[in-house]
Structures are given as C-alpha cells and as structure tokens.
Amino acid sequence: MGQPMQTDSAVLASEASNFESIASQLRAIMSQVDSTAGGLATHMVGQAGTATQQAFVRYQEAALVQKNELDEISANIHTGGTQYASTDEDQSAALGQTINLNIHG
C-alpha cells in the first residue's frame, strides 16, 4: 500500500509566495524592456526599426503568457493548500466524532 498524501499548508503558502515574487520580478523586467524599447523607437528606423519593434512585441507577448502562468500556478497552490487544510480538518473532526460516538455509544 502506498504512503498517504501529506502536505504542509504553510509550505504551500510559502511556495506560492515564491511564484508571486518571480512574477513580480518578471513584471519589473517587462517594464524595463518596455522603457528601453521606447527609447530605441525614435532611433531605429527602416528595416532595423521594424525588426526591433516586431521582436519587442513578440517578447512582450511571450513574457505576458509566462507572467499569467506564474500567477495561475500561485493561485492554484494557494487554493489547493486551503482546500487540503479544510478537508483535513473536516475529516479529522469527523473521525474524532465517530470515535467519540463509539466510545460513549
């Protein structure tokens, strides 16, 4: 028989915070890239300017997808940890109540 699933809600919350921190850092980098691209826009003309702008747009699109994925991972970890803790508490209470009924019944 396999081991029962065990988790530590505090650890899950901490790890979710790590993902939130990474997403925040990515937002800061995206802002820096945006600022740099804005500064380049006036100096890059012709094909080089067009290629640079297209590369910037692809970067922003990819970075936004990555940021959204990090946000979703964090939310899922928070939700999973909360649900696990709630279910664990409910089952512990039910088991305790069943044991008490059998002892006193």
Q: Where are the domains of the chain?
A: 11-104
pTM over cut 0.75? no
Q: Which candidate, 1, 67, 10, places its Cα nearest to that of 33? A: 67
Residue ranges in the chain modelled with pLDDT below 50: 105
Output the pLDDT for position 3.
Answer: 62
Pick from 79, 98, 100: nearest CA to 90: 98
Centre a 10 Å sphere on the Cβ of residue 70 and count the other Cβ atoms it contains.
20
Predicted pLDDT of residue 102: 59
Q: 53: which residues sit within 8 A by CB, 6+ positions away?
A: 37, 41, 44
Q: Tokens in use for 79? A: 């939700």
Tokens of 69: 């994925």
CATH architecture under which domain 11-104 falls? Orthogonal Bundle (1.10)
